């Protein structure tokens, strides 16, 4: 699976020493963990896969936002997911500080991702995230229950290209070039759904029991990471992946459910093996490869 590059932009909880005093007292490591993509650095760091992890919390400078982006909290957020402030009075970053953080933290991360993607071995890119079980205030789907997973390629709910009129009428839709072909996106969605329910889940009465529901581009059409680093016309398609973190941790405390981290890592390993198979057939007819997919294995 060395042909797959996985970027992990939102797992970390660290703040550099020079800015820690600018944040309100409640912005503790525990708070930052609750606002992170919990444990994704463990889940997505898999044998044979080349991964790149951002070293700091998204509240320093968010690597899944463009340098000029102002919506969705902006590249340097000043509020949390509940739209509550995180900085002390008069300590919010000004334009100069935002630019300093972009140069010091945002750009170097993307340079590392870019270098891995440019490696001749690379055939697929994944921008890897987790999502809360119920959407927070700042999300476009506020209050909605979420599925097991979401795959995003900048298209519609089927992975098909979104027309200009649709984008204009709904800013939360995708748009622009697809990052992954629709047929490949659909098949990867189906195979991820399969593995989420094929492997026995530990402690099924704790947390979320997997349902196998995998949506495409709903509610996330794909952010800055996948738009920047997937290059399907150059033979490197890519997807944004969101896994429901209630599958492995308690939603209120973010404590890990015993055995669930190991379980979701197995799910991901089996799915990535099949992703490599499907990607190998991308230039040809996918149907033959789908029929030859590995059978369900006892684990």
Contact 10, 54 (CB under 8 A): yes
| pLDDT surpassing 90 at residue 71 | no
pLDDT at 237: 97
Provide CB contacts within 8 A for 17, sequence distance 6+. Answer: none
Rg (CA), the chain: 19
pLDDT at 134: 76
| pLDDT surpassing 50 at residue 3 | yes
pLDDT at 172: 47
* DSSP code for 227: H
DSSP sequence for 175-214: -SS-SS-HHHHHHHHHHHHHHHHHSPPSSTTSSPPP---E
The correct answer on CATH 3.40.50 for the domain covering 4-15+37-57+110-291 is no
Q: How far apart are CA 44 and CA 133, in angstroms?
A: 19
| pLDDT surpassing 70 at residue 271 | yes
pLDDT at 170: 43
* pLDDT average, residue stretch 75-82: 94
Q: Which of 20-29, 64-73, 82-91, 148-157 has the lowest mean pLDDT?
A: 64-73
What is the pTM for the complete model shown?
0.91
The pLDDT confidence band at residue 282, using thresholds 50, 70 and 90, is confident
| pLDDT surpassing 80 at residue 5 | yes
- Which carries the bigger pLDDT value, residue 170 or residue 268? 268
* pLDDT average, residue stretch 70-92: 92
pLDDT digits (tens, 9 = 90+) for 227-255: 999 999 999 999 999 999 999 999 889 99
Provide CB contacts within 8 A for 257, sequence distance 6+. Answer: 202, 203, 206, 207, 248, 249, 250
Angle (CA) 211 213 219, round 5° = 135
The pLDDT confidence band at residue 266, using thresholds 50, 70 and 90, is very high
pLDDT at 138: 67
Q: What percent of the chain has pLDDT over 70?
A: 90
- In 75-144, alpha helices (H): 95-101, 107-118
* pLDDT average, residue stretch 59-74: 92
Q: How far apart are the first and last CA of the chain?
A: 20
Q: Which residues of 186-196 are buried (b: 16+ CB within 10 A; e: fewer)?
A: bbbbebbbbbb
pLDDT at 284: 54
* pLDDT average, residue stretch 187-214: 96
Q: What counts of helices (H) and strands (E) characterise the chain? A: 9, 6
């Amino acid at each position: 699976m060395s042909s797959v590059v996985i970027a992990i932009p939102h797992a970390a909880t660290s703040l550099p020493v020079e800015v820690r005093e600018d944040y309100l007292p409640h912005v503790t490591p525990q708070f930052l963990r609750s606002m992170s993509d919990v444990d994704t650095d463990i889940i997505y760091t898999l044998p044979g896969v080349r991964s790149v992890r951002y070293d700091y919390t998204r509240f320093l400078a968010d690597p899944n936002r463009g340098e000029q982006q102002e919506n969705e909290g902006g590249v340097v957020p000043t509020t949390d997911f509940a739209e509550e402030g995180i900085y002390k009075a008069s300590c919010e970053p000004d334009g100069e500080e935002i630019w300093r953080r972009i140069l010091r933290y945002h750009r170097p991360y993307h340079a590392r991702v870019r270098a891995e993607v440019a490696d001749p071995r690379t055939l697929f890119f994944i921008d890897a995230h987790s999502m809360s079980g119920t959407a927070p205030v700042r999300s476009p789907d506020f209050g909605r229950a979420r599925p097991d997973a979401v795959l995003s390629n900048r298209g519609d709910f089927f992975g098909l290209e979104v027309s200009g009129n649709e984008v204009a009428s709904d800013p939360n839709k995708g748009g622009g070039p697809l990052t992954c072909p629709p047929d490949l996106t659909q098949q990867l969605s189906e195979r991820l759904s399969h593995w989420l329910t094929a492997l026995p889940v530990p402690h099924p009465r704790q947390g979320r029991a997997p349902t196998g529901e995998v949506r495409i581009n709903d509610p996330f059409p794909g952010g800055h990471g996948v738009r920047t680093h997937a290059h399907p016309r150059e033979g490197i398609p890519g997807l944004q992946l969101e896994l429901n973190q209630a599958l492995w941790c308690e939603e209120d405390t973010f404590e890990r459910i015993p055995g669930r981290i190991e379980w979701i890592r197995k799910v991901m390993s089996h799915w990535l093996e099949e992703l490599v198979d499907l990607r190998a057939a991308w230039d040809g007819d996918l149907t033959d490869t789908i029929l030859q997919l590995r059978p369900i294995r006892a684990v």
